[in-house]
Amino acid sequence: MDHEKNQQVYPLAPPSVHPRSDAESAWSESEQELRRKKRMKLFMYIAAFVVFQTIVILIFALTVMRVKTPNVKIQTVTVQNLNRDSSAYNMTLIAEVRIKNKNFGDYKYDSAPMNVTYGGAIVGTGSIPKGKAKAKKTRRVNVTMEVSSNGVSDASSGISSGILWFNSQATLTGKVHLMKVMKKRKTVRMNCTMAVNLTSGAIQELSC
């Protein structure tokens, strides 16, 4: 017992505490700032990518996916087998019809009648055959029309002037096919005016 009493009790030493140096504190703050800057750059890259994708989609929608109405007009007309007297005429008109497709998809259209009128009366008719105008291409087809003054009450007045003014009309109905998944119906109307010289048998004016 005496031996135990003689033992001294020493208090536990407090844990050693190393004060944080200014260099360590500055390094920690620098690391946090670096991480913050990296996060900011990442957010900026993501935002830039989203903006870029939005612009690409918008351009795609306004160009590739935008459906435009094709254009149909008579490019040239050739007059054949012209016969006339003081009160009647007949001739063959061969028209080169141009179907211009401004879309990024094919325009498939049905056959359509093409009429020639004089003073509102139909004096000739032909047919534009069923076909397809490829994307961003122009299709040309020849349409033959037999024209006659039969049934025209005032044919003699036009014959005496030496110039016959005709109108030609046609309506094409079809669909524009985009990306093989989208189809958009488009109807195209053509209205052209032409002047036939009865002396030379040539087209003097052609306007569509």
pLDDT tens digits along 105-155: 999 999 999 999 998 899 999 999 999 999 999 999 999 999 999 878 778
Whether 145 and 126 have beta carbons less than 8 Å apart is answered as: yes
Q: Give me the residue label for tokens 């009366």.
A: 121
Closest Cα to residue 164, out of 191, 124, 198? 198
CATH of domain 71-207: 2.60.40
Q: What is the DSSP string of 48-79?
A: HHHHHHHHHHHHHHHTTS-----EEEEEEEEE
- Alpha-carbon span 32 to 144, nearest angstrom: 82
pLDDT tens digits along 64-86: 578 999 999 999 999 999 999 98
Sequence ranges of the domains in the chain: 30-60, 71-207
- Alpha-carbon span 116 to 143, nearest angstrom: 11
Amino acid, single-letter form, for residue 76: T
What is the pLDDT, as a whole number, of residue 23? 56
Output the pTM of the full model: 0.71
Q: Give me the residue label for tokens 């007059």.
A: 79
